[in-house]
Amino acid sequence: MRRSGRVVREVLDQLRTLVAPGVTTMDLERTAEQKIKDLGATPAFKGYYDYPCVLCTSINEEIVHGIPSEKRVLKAGDIVSIDCGAVMDGYYGDAAITVAVDGSITPELSKLLEVTEASLYRAIEAARIGNAVGDVGAAVQEFVEANGFSVVREFVGHGIGTHLHEEPQVPNFGTRGHGARLRDGMVLAIEPMVNSGKPGTRVLEDKWTAVTADGSYSAHFEHCVAVTKDGPVILTQ
């Protein structure tokens, strides 16, 4: 899983450098598809429930599962979430980042990105043997809400291994001590989705793109994290 995690990270690191005004989300998709191939891996998302692409690219009020398109041109002041999955030797990796398209994003949007990424690291700290799934969710929720943002309920993180989605579900909300206990060797894809406005969501006509119900902005960061005797180990670092 370190190997598939490394592939996903290399793809995201390259895509981050390409994000700029005028670039389309299909440009990112093409680069990602080639890079996954060059690294000897297979895309994890393409064909999964008939999903058409190797990336999910979600702009501004889009939360997750935005479909790359020639028609979606990134512009100054936008934020874009890039989510990538890859398979190596039968094992999955899955990670996401949200980046500003340029330096002109508002302070409120910068704060949304910072708080969402920081909430992921708080959740990772809670991914310890003997803790509950609720400890991970509560770590995200408490931090996000203390900063005036809200946590999406309809989409959650997940176990990951020889399948993209395994048990347990890993919500970004919860109660400390509640839910399944974390055991040595479990790997969790922890992926906070945070809205600048209210938590409500809806899915567009394309049946994939999830957007905020109130049109507010949304950010998304994801890592795969192994629960081990030495504490949490990030596999997509």
Taking alpha carbons only, the member of 63, 16, 56 closest to residue 220 is 63
Q: Report the nearest approach of ligand MF3 to the CB of residue 193 (Å).
A: 10
From the list 1-9, 44-52, 178-186, 192-200, the region that binds ligand MF3 by CB under 6 A is: 44-52
Of residues 150-209, which lie at the interface with Co ion (CB under 5 A)?
189
Asked if 78 touches Co ion (CB under 5 A), the answer is no
Q: Please list, in sequence order, all residues whose beta carbon lies within 8 angstroms of the beta carbon of residue 88, skipping any fewer than 6 positions away.
A: 3, 4, 7, 40, 41, 42
Asked if 45 touches Co ion (CB under 5 A), the answer is no
Instruction: Confirm if 120 and 126 have CB atoms less than 8 A apart.
Output: no
From the list 33-41, 47-55, 113-121, 124-132, the region that binds ligand MF3 by CB under 6 A is: 47-55
Asked if 210 touches Co ion (CB under 5 A), the answer is no
Asked if 65 touches ligand MF3 (CB under 6 A), the answer is yes
DSSP alpha helices (H): ranges in 60-185?
107-125, 133-146
Contacts 24+ apart (CB under 8 A), 41-49: 41/4, 41/7, 41/86, 41/87, 41/88, 42/86, 42/87, 42/88, 43/85, 43/86, 43/87, 44/85, 44/86, 44/87, 44/92, 44/93, 44/94, 44/164, 45/83, 45/84, 45/85, 45/164, 48/164
Of residues 175-194, which lie at the interface with ligand MF3 (CB under 6 A)?
189, 191
Q: Report the nearest approach of Co ion to the CB of residue 135 (Å).
A: 19
Asked if 21 touches ligand MF3 (CB under 6 A), the answer is no
From the list 41-49, 68-76, 100-108, 210-218, the region that binds ligand MF3 by CB under 6 A is: 41-49
Q: Which of 81, 94, 131, 225 binds ligand MF3 (CB under 6 A)?
A: 94
- Residues near ligand MF3 (CB under 6 A): 45, 48-49, 51, 56, 65, 83, 94, 96, 158, 189, 191, 222
